[in-house]
Structure 1
């Protein structure tokens, strides 16, 4: 018999992130969202076995990539293969970054801002938040009062924009116009590090602007 599961589970995996000729050690938050029967995986990073252990015998409805930096997608194909060809979802603007890691296999379906995915009775609204990368996406679960922000918004500010395919102006616009209007109590589950809330980050927009310029 399947055990009762929390609607959101986190797996922290460790590996590297490489871009623009540099490589850095990173710990990633992998998010598993659903119920005791089916889940989606948000950002399959570094360790397929660790992710699979938490999934257990549940059906994987989709593997959702918030963006295509290698540390967020490096295990997506392997996890798909392990769970019956679960579809990999990615915004098409991420194609150049995706091909750096997986040149011979593409995602299975486009992830477009405005669409809603439902898993285990939980709605996940896809929010287009370009800036950290051209097709960065966040996923908002209104019933859970949670937004999964990938590398767009962290505890303490926006994600990095000093590398290829990134834009400081775009990430600020995405945060200001798409994320900060969410209810202040919304919990922000990030791609790395600790959680925060929309209300906790909103007062600092002016500081980020001054720092970024």
Structure 2
């Protein structure tokens, strides 16, 4: 049996560079009836924990460290005992939100994370944030892109620690190498496919 994908939408505030914006975030659970990964613990640890139920959370994986993707991570980690995983290049952003707590382990490009017999490959895709990563499952035909790629094109690059040419390079080299029918599960909004976004980048 392969893992299943579950979506929880949480709401809160994204803050950076002195600005704040109300946002809805996609939190993704990947696993089976016994164990799950949580991708991007956003805003509401209680709601995420309720969706997890009595399953074991093996890891809380951060696609990047903007506050709206990590603000509930420490509380969820405390509730579940799960480690928080983050690419080291995003510590500069993590420390803005959680200056007194470090992530538990580092993500690296090419790393394989396995849950419920299903592999997720870590793809380092800087641009929206320096340590942004996507998580690709060939078996599920799905890539979890955080804020790197959306329905409609690349993530925003107008704020600190982001760069437009870098995100375009990441998308073209890492994501567009995936099959066109790969489902893109994003950090905000609706899902899309790799093929559909090739015209938008």
- Aligned pair partner of 1:29 in 26, 29, 42: 26
For residue 131 of structure 1, report the CA deviation from its aligned partner: 0.1
Determine the C-alpha separation between the residues in 2 that align with 1:82 and 1:5.
26
Q: Is the 8 A contact 2:3 2:115 kept in 1?
A: no
Determine the C-alpha separation between the residues in 1 that align with 2:200 and 2:49.
38
Give the corresponding residue for 1:144.
Answer: 140
Q: Is the 8 A contact 1:5 1:36 kept in 2?
A: no
Q: CA RMSD in A?
A: 1.2
Task: Tell me which stretches of 4 or more aligned residues in structure 1 moved more than 6 Å.
Answer: none
- Aligned pair partner of 1:72 in 52, 69, 74: 69
For residue 37 of structure 1, report the CA deviation from its aligned partner: 0.5
Q: Which has the higher contact order (CA 8 A, sep 6+)?
A: 2
Gaps of 5+ in 1: 206-213
Could you give the per-residue CA deviations for residues 27-47 of structure 1, whole angstroms, max 9, x where no partner exists?
000000011100000000001
Q: Is the 8 A contact 1:154 1:190 kept in 2?
A: yes
Give the corresponding residue for 1:96.
Answer: 92
Map 1:1-213 → 2, pairs under 5 A: 7-83=4-80, 85-205=81-201
Give the corresponding residue for 1:210.
Answer: none
Determine the C-alpha separation between the residues in 2 that align with 1:183 and 1:15.
33
Determine the C-alpha separation between the residues in 2 that align with 1:114 and 1:6.
20
User: Over alpha carbons, which structure has the higher Rg?
Assistant: 1
For residue 60 of structure 1, report the CA deviation from its aligned partner: 0.5
For residue 120 of structure 1, report the CA deviation from its aligned partner: 0.7
For residue 203 of structure 1, report the CA deviation from its aligned partner: 2.4
Q: 1:174 to 1:116 in 2, by over 3 A?
A: same
Determine the C-alpha separation between the residues in 2 that align with 1:11 and 1:72.
13
Q: Is the 8 A contact 1:128 1:136 kept in 2?
A: yes
For residue 5 of structure 1, report the CA deviation from its aligned partner: 10
Report the TM-score when normalising by structure 2: 0.98
Determine the C-alpha separation between the residues in 2 that align with 1:140 and 1:123.
8
